[in-house]
Amino acid sequence: GAAELGPYRHFMQKEIFEQPRAIGDTLDGVTAIMPELFGDGAYKVFKQIDRVLILACGTSYYAGLTAKYWIESVAQVPVNVEIASEYRYRTSVPNPNTLVVTISQSGETADTLAALKHARSLGMHHTLTICNVATSAMVRECQLAYITRAGIEVGVASTKAFTTQLAGLFLLTLALAQVNGRLDDEQEAMYLKQMRHLPVALGSVLALEPQIIAWAEEFARKENALFLGRGLHYPIALEGALKLKEISYIHAEAYPAGELKHGPLALVTEEMPVVTIAPNDALLEKLKSNMQEVRARGGQLYVFADVDSRITSSDGVHVIRLPEHYGLLSPILHVAALQLLAYHTALARGTDVDKPRNLAKSVTVE
């Protein structure tokens, strides 16, 4: 009801603004990295596995894609990420030394549950879930679990569930790294400190709302949008495009920026807003040349940079700067900006933000 909304117009907006609290709660009490954060016996399981298979749907799948970048780079464990509805029906090559990780807000998504059972039927019995509902079927079915503390999510378009999944997946990354001898005390302390500071860092991203509203007013008049990211921020580009299409009904696609010239560049005209996620990381220089390719075709760039990215506004290049550069955890901050962009674009178009047409909060039948 309206009373629960407080100062917000929709649950989605409320849930976006709840994220500092949700992440804080999800990481509350984590004072050290250890496998047991995922349940009793986790150390033994993490010792036995030599690969990870992530299964999920929708926004949870994009959390999984982000985790692949983290786990492979930090823990050096190979990761496959599969859409649950594909995995359950294809013939794949099982390996018993796999840690099967499901990611689900509801813990009741039919395809994700079926994919988990399929993996088990192939002899893969090490299972872990990152889930927001402690009493769900998913948590009952998995050997190990990390329960995110987003709280009840009402908006069909997932927001706080996603960022808390990322927090849980980052902990998993660090725990796997530790078991593999790839996390020393100094690194552990540094990551813990960064995680503790996340709620404040996220709060300062949410404070960019007025600038994002100005962009949303322009987006509301468009019928197409392209989202670009590279590396860790490619999955975030996918999630940003998904948010925009789910609630504003604008056709949006995401590409890893290096793929521009293999297709999407053909779509770029003055009418095409191109959202670019451009934190100051190792790929920034490459990304800048992708941005030139867009500008050369008249495309309008909307760049989410950060305090350290050397990118300035110019003709056709609009820049919003996130206040902190956040390294590996930067996707959590950048996605919040994209959630606000989708939300305000939908608001300007007058769509039913919390209940977009044809979509359900959780898909419990196939």
> Does 57 help bind ligand G6P (rule: CB under 6 A)?
yes
Binding residues for ligand G6P restricted to 310-339, rule: CB under 6 A: none
Quote the CA–CA distance of 314 and 92 in Å, as a whole number.
49
In sequence order, which residues have a C-beta less than 8 Å from that of residue 349 and are 6 or more positions away? Answer: 220, 248, 249, 250
- Cβ atoms 256, 234 nearer than 8 A: yes
- H-type helices in the chain, by residue range? 2-5, 11-17, 19-27, 42-48, 58-70, 84-87, 110-121, 137-141, 160-179, 185-206, 209-219, 234-248, 284-296, 330-349
Q: By CB under 6 A, name the one of 19, 85, 112, 248 that touches ligand G6P.
A: 112
168 vs 65: CA distance, rounded Å: 14
Q: Footprint of ligand G6P on residues 86-105 (CB under 6 A)?
A: 104-105
Half-sphere exposure of 232 (CA within 13 A, CB side): 25
The two structure tokens encoding residue 247: 């609630």
C-beta of 118: minimal distance to ligand G6P in Å? 16
> What mask of x and - would describe binding to ligand G6P in positions 286 to 315, judged by CB under 6 A?
------------------------------
Q: Pick the binder of ligand G6P from 24, 58, 273, 299 (CB under 6 A).
A: 58
| Catalytic status, residue 68 | no
Q: What share of the chain is helix, strand, coil (3-state, %, to 5)?
A: 50, 15, 35
Nearer to ligand G6P, 192 or 363 (CB): 363
Tell me which stretch binds ligand G6P (CB under 6 A): 26-34, 66-74, 223-231, 354-362.
Answer: 354-362
Q: Which of residues 130-169 bind ligand G6P (CB under 6 A)?
A: 156-158
Taking the complex as a whole, the smallest distance from the CB of residue 243 to ligand G6P amounts, in Å, to 9
User: What does the DSSP 8-state code read for residue 299?
Assistant: P
Q: If binding means CB under 6 A, how many residues of this protein chain bind ligand G6P?
A: 16
Q: How far is the CB of 35 from ligand G6P (least distance, A)?
A: 24
Three-state secondary-structure class, residue 252 = strand
Token pair belonging to 74 = 């930090």
- Does 26 engage in binding with ligand G6P (CB under 6 A)? no
Nearer to ligand G6P, 104 or 309 (CB): 104
> Least distance to ligand G6P from the beta carbon of 336, Å?
16
Q: Measured from the CB of residue 314, what is the shortest distance to ligand G6P in angstroms?
A: 36
In the list 213, 265, 267, 363, the residue contacting ligand G6P (rule: CB under 6 A) is 363
Q: Which of 222, 245, 288, 361 is catalytic?
A: 361
Specify the 3-state DSSP secondary structure of 131: strand
Among 60, 173, 178, 300, binds ligand G6P (CB under 6 A): 60
> Measured between alpha carbons, how far apart are the two ends of the chain, in Å?
30
* Catalytically active residues, by annotation: 361
Residues forming the site for ligand G6P (CB under 6 A): 57-60, 104-106, 109, 112, 156-158, 359, 361-363
